[in-house]
Amino acid sequence: MSTKSAASGDSAEAGPNTDAASRTFENGNRVKNKVARASRMPYMPKDHFKIILRRRGGINISKMGSTKVGKSIIEAAGLGSDQTASDIICPNVSHNIMVASTPKRENAEKYVRIRSIDLGGCSYEINAYEAAPDDTCKGVIRNIDVADGPAELERNIVNPRNPLALTLKELIPAR
């Protein structure tokens, strides 16, 4: 039952068009925005190579500690502290991944080759891959001639006439 006060004319209950209802809606948006902000990666230099390190085993980065995980990644890559002085390794706790950002191609290749890391006497499987550069996008090409092999496709797509195409990755090799 809704009652109105004579002085203010306001309803005692929160209806759909009241301030209380709009505050609840705003709080819901705030929570969503907080979650979205937390899942974003921190700023990393555009000229760096970015390597995503995703766990396969049961490792929880927030429980293990990002510093320990970062040190074990550097050890697994076989890099010294002098080689990683300009590298950035940071966690994305909401996605439970680590991101290594480096200006050196050699370091990036070593990070990508990591298959497992050792933490606290346990070995954890890792899937490491290089992220696409910031100014690129992915695309799917359909209706390709079945007779063309992977080398022929790459020559047709990645060439001087198409300078924005960086590489070709065939997702389904058997057509």
Residue 89: which CATH number?
A: 3.30.70.330
Do 85 and 107 share a domain, yes or no? yes
- Please give the pLDDT value at position 24: 55
Do 88 and 159 share a domain, yes or no? no
- Please give the pLDDT value at position 162: 79
Cα distance between residue 173 and residue 93, in whole Å:
34
- Please give the pLDDT value at position 11: 46
CB 99 within 8 A of CB 90: yes
Considering the domain boundaries, does residue 21 fall inside one? no
Do 122 and 142 share a domain, yes or no? no
- Please give the pLDDT value at position 16: 55
Considering the domain boundaries, does residue 77 fall inside one? yes
Considering the domain boundaries, does residue 158 fall inside one? yes
- Please give the pLDDT value at position 36: 66
Do 109 and 166 share a domain, yes or no? no
Do 123 and 61 share a domain, yes or no? yes
- Please give the pLDDT value at position 103: 95
Do 126 and 144 share a domain, yes or no? no
Considering the domain boundaries, does residue 28 fall inside one? no
Do 72 and 98 share a domain, yes or no? yes
Return the bridge partners of 88, or none.
101
Do 122 and 157 share a domain, yes or no? no
Do 171 and 126 share a domain, yes or no? no
Considering the domain boundaries, does residue 159 fall inside one? yes
Do 65 and 104 share a domain, yes or no? yes
Considering the domain boundaries, does residue 54 fall inside one? yes
Cα distance between residue 126 and residue 92, in whole Å:
15
- Please give the pLDDT value at position 127: 92
CB 130 within 8 A of CB 112: yes
Note down the domain range covering 163: 136-175
The domain total for the chain is: 2
Question: Which residue positions in the chain have pLDDT lower than 70?
Answer: 1-28, 35-42, 135, 169-175
Do 81 and 113 share a domain, yes or no? yes
52: its two tokens:
């995503």
- Please give the pLDDT value at position 55: 84
Do 175 and 121 share a domain, yes or no? no
- Please give the pLDDT value at position 5: 42
Give the distance from CA 44 to its chain's centroid: 12
